Amino acid sequence: MEQTLQQAASINKVLAKRPLIISGPCSAETEEQILATASQLAATGKVDILRAGIWKPRTRPGSFEGVGTKGLPWLQKAKELTGLPVAVEVATGKQVEDALHFGVDVLWIGARTTVNPFSVQDVADALKGVDVPVLIKNPINPDLELWIGAAERVAKAGIKNIGLIHRGFSSYGNTEYRNAPMWHLAIEMKRRFPEMIMINDPSHICGRRDILQEVAQKAIDLDFDGLIIESHIDPDNAWSDAKQQITPEVLGSMMDTMIWRKEDIISEELHIQMDKMRAQINQLDDELLQLLGQRMKVADKIGQYKKDNNITILQTNRWNAILERAFVKGGQLGLSQEFITKYFDAVHMESINHQNKIMNS
């Protein structure tokens, strides 16, 4: 028991490091591969936790489904060899038990499991009474409720140290990414659960090596707590996810060339400048809200007028004219058409809702 407590304290300390870097192969393939990857990763001095998939949920049968429980002792050896704590994906209660039996330090729930409340509950039931950190990947589909539900089930099982992994979302017809990042969803999760760490998984977002660093950098710029990046001693010949893996050496130089930003600025002078600019932003936001309130009051009046004269709410020509005007004006002010469209869509919807209320009152 004592040892378990000690183990829990030491892994929680590792997870508190910023930036937290987790790396290792998509899948454990052989003992040699695991030991070589682990020692090369440890040699970079950049990695905090070794990851490896033991059980691989594959979309199609016939793909490599992981080496299974026999790979767990390899991870134990890798840990003894390098001192790096190890993390594996679990999708069933039995896998939780096996992983814990072999001293795995961190468990993660994969994207294909997070979508399924039965599976998440099965994992959660096996976690009762255990003190192990659990990282939860976002579900495959862009549905925050599933992600939150999984975190709640794991929390209800008594797990204290829960983290989140943003690995992107499946989207039809997407070409640039394997899984569209949809950053706003991860940001919303961060906002709702500030006590949970948020780690970005650029490997599964990109599905390819060339844009890995770009995505990782964006996550760091957005104040994510860390990265989980797949690495392999011979990426092209990896048994799973070959296109997105990089060597430990490339991972090391990638970490060297990243720009690590701090959320908190230390210098007094910078603090003063930032406070001033933030005050300006707050002031401008207040004014914008005032103006929007006024705009809606005018919309209410128009609504009353339309009601009295029996005119439809939506008048397409008028709406096109508003947008055209905004594109020209906004363009001169350096605002993108994309932003103008989104902003006016939102304002327009609010306006219609206001008018709708009046016309049906």
Q: Which is nearer to ligand PEP, 26 or 96 (CB)?
A: 26
Q: Minimum distance between the CB of residue 108 and ligand PEP, rounded to whole angstroms?
A: 7
Give the chain's end-to-end CA distance (angstroms, integer).
Answer: 67
Q: How far is the CB of 27 from Mn ion (least distance, A)?
A: 7
Q: Which is nearer to Mn ion, 108 or 344 (CB)?
A: 108
Q: Which residue type does 133 have?
A: P
Least distance to Mn ion from the beta carbon of 141, Å? 18
Nearest to 87 by CA among 98, 75, 95: 75
Give whichever of 164 and 340 is closer to Mn ion, judged by the CB atom. Answer: 164
- Spatial contact of 225 and 164, defined as CB atoms under 8 Å apart: no
Does residue 140 contact residue 169 with C-beta atoms inside 8 Å? yes
3-class DSSP state for residue 4?
helix
Which of Mn ion, ligand PEP, none does residue 79 bind (CB under 5 to 8 Å by kind)?
none
User: What minimum distance in Å lies between the beta carbon of 26 and ligand PEP?
Assistant: 5
**Cβ 140 to ligand PEP shortest distance, Å:** 7
Residue spans of alpha helices (H) in 16-159: 31-44, 72-82, 93-101, 111-114, 117-127, 144-156
Min dist. Cβ of residue 250 to ligand PEP (A): 18
Q: Which residue stretch of 19-27, 104-112, 282-290, 319-327 sits at the interface with Mn ion (rule: CB under 5 A)?
A: 19-27
**Which partner in Mn ion, ligand PEP, none is near 133 (CB below 5 to 8 A by kind)?**
none
Upper half-sphere CA count for residue 202 (Cβ side, 13 Å) = 25
Whichever of 202 and 303 has its CB closer to ligand PEP, that residue is: 202
How many CA atoms lie less than 13 Å away from 192 in the CB half-sphere?
13
The closest of 8, 24, 41 to 88, measured between CA atoms, is 24
| Contact yes or no for 344/323 (Cβ under 8 A) | yes
Q: Which of 15, 20, 22, 26 binds Mn ion (CB under 5 A)?
A: 26
Residue nearest to Mn ion (CB): 26
Asked whether position 29 contacts Mn ion by CB under 5 A, the answer is no
110 vs 235, beta carbon nearer ligand PEP: 110
In angstroms, give the least distance from the CB of 203 to ligand PEP.
Answer: 7
Q: Which residues pair with 197 in a beta bridge?
A: 163
Cis omega (within 30 of 0) on the bond before 85? no
Question: Which one among 29, 98, 105, 241 touches Mn ion, defined by CB under 5 A?
Answer: 241
Contact positions toward ligand PEP, by CB under 6 A?
A: 26, 53, 89, 110-112, 137, 167, 204
By beta-carbon proximity to ligand PEP, the closer residue of 95 and 351 is 95
CA distance 144 to 185: 7
Q: Which two tokens stand for residue 198?
A: 């948020």
Question: At its nearest, how many Å lie between Mn ion and the CB of residue 267?
Answer: 41
Q: Between residues 54 and 157, which has the closer beta carbon with respect to Mn ion?
A: 54
Least separation, in Å, of the C-beta of 165 and ligand PEP?
7
Residue with smaller CB distance to Mn ion, 82 or 203: 203
The position carrying tokens 């549905």 is: 143
Choice between 2 and 236, CB closer to ligand PEP: 236
Count CB-CB contacts under 10 A for residue 96. Answer: 24
Q: From the list Mn ion, ligand PEP, none, which binds 137 (C-beta under 5 to 8 Å, kind-based)?
A: ligand PEP
Which of ligand PEP, Mn ion, none does residue 110 bind (CB under 5 to 8 Å by kind)?
ligand PEP
- Reading the block at residue 303, the tokens are 């609504």
Q: Which residue has the tokens 């933030």?
A: 278
Residue 167 interacts with, from ligand PEP, Mn ion, none (CB under 5-8 Å by kind): ligand PEP
Q: Tell me the DSSP string of 215-235.
A: HHHHHHHTT-SEEEEEB-SSG
> Which tokens go with 252?
């090391």
The interface partner of residue 24, options being Mn ion, ligand PEP, none and the CB cut-off 5 to 8 Å by kind, is none
